[in-house]
Structure 1
């Protein structure tokens, strides 16, 4: 699958992140909603148990008082039928007449059981048909705990209903005289709290919708600049190196400001490199086509006998010079490509810096047109030793000397200073300098300046090649300053 088809099948950034943020929000809200529902249910049951226990405690207090009344002298004749372990259990309904039951009556749907201190049931009281609730009538499994003074709570599940049951001990003068169990149907939490659940759902829906709006707005605000940048990158890929981008002042985020600014710089550099590439092709075509045509014509003239004698010899000499110039151009291109890919490694040896400088001066004076350049060297250079490749350092100095000469310099001075454990070798000339607008680009490959005269000179590889040679020797080449009266290049060499 091609890259373009993969891009076509991708999901837009706004939709991608909006979906995911919304999914996370919905998951969080569902978790909170389920948690709130569970909390309401648990809290409802807890409150139901508390209310049931409070009613059971009231009934137990009423039962204790009724027993005290029945055991008084005025009612001694009636007390024998209650509180005795030998008395058979009775099931009391509203139609049954019994003094304790008349005093101790639970509400309509409750079921109450009374047990003596031995766990024998005394009373089963309910207004319901207990034949339908056989599980409730049975003696509770927690009767021993209650008779030992503990309060118990339990949930009893039957086929068609669920009941809550509370068991509390009956205390008389600090001693347990029995147990009272009170049961009631478990409340329907959902039905009883329908308004609460409805309000909870409404709140969740409102928060979810509001959260989606916020997420969409923020995602759109974040992805809009990225979309604009994508469109700008597409324009650059199509050859438009000046795409329309929002002003960085309209972008508030520092990261996006830096991104847009870097993209603008990149577009500008790409445009410049594209122009330099075009100029290079034109320059190489001109530099190669002209000598080739000249060489061909002169050799044909000599071969055809059109010129003879000294003229023929001069034609051959000129052809040889043109061939050497073409060879130098090709070598510069190959050297630059090799250095840029780190494929060339120098022969590093301990050598005298003054000797290398003298060799470069002799070589530049041997070139026609450079003989009249005066080069003064500081005496401080004589004792200095460096570890470097002799040819590389000499090539750097030759390039700098020839650039100074082309800039109209008549005098070049070499001075030495020491700083930060490095030798600072300054090459100072009195040429016309480098225009200020060209200074940022002088170390760019293939850059030959804006003037037509410079456009016809070489391939624009002299300074870029010199910098790469310096880096290959663990040195550094920088432009210190340039004015119409003076230009200073500095070569930083490690001290040995």
Structure 2
């Protein structure tokens, strides 16, 4: 249980500035420590080798000064003066010592002064190397006529060779300055990077609290940062617009649904209270029935849109004879609106076009476009549609052209937004503004797209694109026929 609580315990949050500067400082320190350790090791080895070579030269110089008399080594009186000069030249400490031994390993000369017992203390049992590994030493044989008379030991502490307080202080200051410079550099970079991110985070918190009027006056040299700030600024503006539009849409939907309910309630109450005559009461009930049908269609549109947005509407991917399907859709739709005598001209190529999609969903899209075109037609003119099928490479297109009043330029970018209805349409027809939105979703679900190609006071042209079943056929001559209400 305790382990589970520890595992679920939230991690402590920290800022980018603290996170990166602290970790970079630690990494920098570790890296420089490794570099310094390697450099000091290399300097130590190199210094010891050079010092031993210098000590060996001193040993040779001392061996040349020593003479032999009756098989005994004779130390010149000026040897101390020579050693003192060399010690000053070497700049060594008290751990520098010189010993001259004969062939019997007896001490003849030493500097500083020491006894035979000190010789055994400083050298190993076989007198071939220093007893203490903290010291380094070299030996030079004292010879005369190729005969070895003794040897000269020159010993020096390794610490005195490799450790120089002044040099170590300089090295530490240099590496400390490098570490501080590196840390200061990453601090400035992290601060420059975290500042716009912090402001974007604060702006995001304001948006989360419902305040969409954020002010991001940031202009950095980094392209990525500018892109982030600009994208976030545009997103906040878009969210503000969507929030305003959501409130307006909700008010509009409530109004559109409330209007038929109020109308039906008033009509039914008038009939119930015998305010109108039986003949008028029948007319009132017919009006109430039509209002209920309109409300039913609006609710159905809302349910269809919600189901499509939630992904609960299945879309098939089948091989469809698009020529035959569009002809059947037009025929069935004309029967439903025979009283309005719509005229439809269908242009199809001579070769059969096969699409990939769902016949039912394609019918919903085309019927919605025809209904919208019918509603957009002025009351004093006949309804005329021009529908054309065409193929381009791996796509098939259905162009639906009406002769309605068109869509104003300001409304054209918004026609596929949910709940959006232009001012002209609001005054003439009732609805929720979901028809084109739902049709666009259906087109995308089939791998196609529904676009408003053009619109003017002479009419609007919508284009539905669908995936083609096979490779494009050779284009043939277009055949056309005019379908009328009486056909």
In the other structure, the counterpart of 2:178 is: 207
Q: How does 1:302-381 map to 2 (within 5 A)?
A: 302-346=271-315, 350-362=319-331, 364-365=333-334, 371-380=340-349
In the other structure, the counterpart of 1:481 is: 454
**2:105 is matched with which residue: 116, 121, 133?**
121
**1:242 is matched with which residue: 207, 213, 223?**
213
Relative to structure 1, is the Cα distance of residues 115 and 424 closer, same or farther in structure 2, using a 3 angstrom cutoff? Answer: farther
- Judge which range, 178-187 or 278-287, deviates more: 178-187
Root-mean-square deviation over aligned CA pairs: 3.5
Separation of aligned partners in 2, 1:351 and 1:187: 93
Separation of aligned partners in 2, 1:182 and 1:196: 29
In the other structure, the counterpart of 1:136 is: 122
Separation of aligned partners in 2, 1:348 and 1:124: 110
**2:151 matches 1:164:** no
**2:49 matches 1:46:** yes
**How far 1:103 moved relative to its partner?**
8.2
| Consecutive unaligned residues in structure 1, runs of 5 or more | 71-77, 83-97, 143-153
Q: How does 1:213-232 map to 2 (within 5 A)?
A: 213-232=184-203
Cα displacement string for residues 317-343 of structure 1 (whole angstroms, at most 9, x for unaligned residues): 222222221121121122112222222
Separation of aligned partners in 1, 2:423 and 2:61: 106
Is the 1:399–1:466 Cα contact (8 Å) retained in structure 2? yes
Q: How does 1:4-19 map to 2 (within 5 A)?
A: 10-19=13-22
Is the 1:113–1:123 Cα contact (8 Å) retained in structure 2? yes
| Consecutive unaligned residues in structure 2, runs of 5 or more | 85-95, 470-487
Is the 1:167–1:182 Cα contact (8 Å) retained in structure 2? yes
Q: How does 1:80-99 map to 2 (within 5 A)?
A: 81-82=71-72, 98-99=73-74
Separation of aligned partners in 1, 2:316 and 2:126: 101
In the other structure, the counterpart of 1:107 is: 83
- Judge which range, 411-420 or 41-50, deviates more: 41-50
**How far 1:360 moved relative to its partner?**
3.5
Is the 1:345–1:472 Cα contact (8 Å) retained in structure 2? no
TM-score (ref. length: structure 1):
0.78
Separation of aligned partners in 2, 1:155 and 1:481: 101
**1:467 is matched with which residue: 437, 440, 465?**
440
In the other structure, the counterpart of 2:263 is: 294
Separation of aligned partners in 1, 2:439 and 2:213: 32
Relative to structure 1, is the Cα distance of residues 133 and 344 closer, same or farther in structure 2, using a 3 angstrom cutoff? Answer: same
Separation of aligned partners in 1, 2:369 and 2:339: 13
Cα displacement string for residues 58-79 of structure 1 (whole angstroms, at most 9, x for unaligned residues): 334445xx4xxx5xxxxxxx43
Is the 2:124–2:130 Cα contact (8 Å) retained in structure 1? no
**2:419 matches 1:446:** yes
Of structures 1 and 2, the one scoring higher in RCO (CA 8 A, sep 6+) is 2
Relative to structure 1, is the Cα distance of residues 369 and 406 closer, same or farther in structure 2, using a 3 angstrom cutoff? Answer: farther
**How far 1:375 moved relative to its partner?**
2.0
In the other structure, the counterpart of 1:417 is: 390
**How far 1:40 moved relative to its partner?**
4.0
Separation of aligned partners in 2, 1:363 and 1:478: 24
Secondary structure in structure 2 of the residue aligned to 1:281 = helix
Secondary structure in structure 2 of the residue aligned to 1:378 = strand
- Judge which range, 277-286 or 451-460, deviates more: 451-460
Relative to structure 1, is the Cα distance of residues 429 and 57 closer, same or farther in structure 2, using a 3 angstrom cutoff? Answer: farther
Secondary structure in structure 2 of the residue aligned to 1:375 = strand
